Amino acid sequence: MKYAIVLPDGAADEPVEKLGGRTPLEAANTPHIDWISIHGRQGRVVTVPPGFTPGSDVATLSLFGYDPRTCHAGRAPLEAAAQGLTIAPQQVVFRCNLVTIIDGLMEDFTAGHISQHEADRLMADLTECLKSTGCHFFPGVSYRNLLVLDAHDEDLSAACTPPHDIPQKPVESHLPAGPGSGRIRTIMARAREVLAEHEVNAVRKDLGENPATDVWLWGQGRPKPLEPFASRFGLNGAVIAAVDLIRGIARTVGMKLIDVPGATGYLDTDYRAKGAAAVGALDDVNLVIVHVEAPDEAGHLGDTEAKVLAIERVDEHVVGPLLEKLRSFDRWRILVAPDHPTPVSRRVHMATPPPFCLAGHAIHPVLQLPFSESHASTSDLQIERGYELMEYFLRV
């Protein structure tokens, strides 16, 4: 049996007035995803257990078949795994966004999608300036970076808000709070001083680009081992993803990572190259998982047109080629599953159970309707524990 899973991050949404009351999923032209839904099954899945923040770390762990209630140790440790960083027992790793804060508002949680070479330089200089405080900054992808901190257990307890949850909002009430927060706030304040005088930001201002005024620390934790995917499900798998979070989950569970030139984790990612790489991988592995960040990025931007276009490109360049390839095998299955909604009207993640659809060997059509949030909600296939969807997909 050959399996393919496509994860269009944040693709689920709510009705949008400018789309005539349709969601981006409903408005997008997605003949291949609709084929899966019509010839297979669709439903909804609770990817974010009660009490958890609706982040991609929690939701994607669920979709990979791991219970966040026992497996989740923070977002940053997973991203550190993607980079191959070793986190000592006395250290804590934080996600470190480069952000733009203007007049106390979170103007841009990506610092204008700062370029890689600029981010690399800022991380190096921040480490040099703050190393006496036990700080070690590591570049990731663009604005998504890491801080490894020589820390005490209380630094794990501070309540830290993801910056993408407060777009265009005052940051004061969302700064780290609780035990350990004083030290984290101090680091953020010192970093602000370094960034204010940095040449990279002077150039960005001259060019009319958003400067990286601050670092925003969140998602902290220490690494936690996970059961290998192969021993858990009896399959060898490969993962295609541009963002470190997904790559970190894959590496932590022992799955093969496939690097795709042109995969950016943003709206300009090379969808066609991702699809081609996934098709090629099916000759070597039982399961390929393709993650596409673009719909989520469009949701955070509040850009309806960009989100519809991203969904259409996923359908055309990833789902379509995978369907064609899978049909060349005697037995196959495919699953399309957004991890969570990122409504363009709200610009933040929601815990509302997203829809999914699957088709293939021994999966019999039920609703025979195009894929959408509303159709999925009428299905009798409602998975309350999100980590069980993987088992259902592989074994039912």
Nearest alpha-carbon partner for 336 in 385, 294, 292: 292
pLDDT in tens, the chain (396 residues): 999 999 999 999 999 999 999 999 999 999 999 999 999 999 999 999 999 999 999 999 999 999 999 999 999 999 999 999 999 988 999 999 999 999 999 999 999 999 999 999 999 999 999 999 899 999 999 999 999 999 777 667 899 999 999 999 999 999 999 988 999 999 999 999 999 999 999 999 999 999 999 999 999 999 999 999 999 999 999 999 999 999 999 999 999 999 999 999 999 999 999 999 999 999 999 999 999 999 999 999 999 999 999 999 999 999 999 999 999 999 999 999 999 999 999 999 999 999 999 999 999 999 999 999 999 999 999 999 999 999 999 998
> Quick check: helix, strand or coil at residue 247?
helix
* Superfamily classification of domain 2-72+225-395: Alkaline Phosphatase, subunit A (3.40.720.10)
pTM here? Answer: 0.92
Nearest alpha-carbon partner for 288 in 261, 255, 264, 242: 255
CA distance 356 to 353: 10
CA distance 316 to 324: 11
Q: Please, which residues have CB within 8 angstroms of residue 364's CB and are 6 or more apart in sequence?
A: 41
Contact 361, 331 (CB under 8 A): yes
Contact 357, 40 (CB under 8 A): yes
What is the CB neighbour count within 10 angstroms for residue 15? 16
Contact 139, 145 (CB under 8 A): yes
List the domain boundaries for the chain.
2-72+225-395, 82-221
pLDDT of residue 185: 95
Distances in Å between the alpha carbon of 389 and those of 11, 292, 319?
18, 19, 19
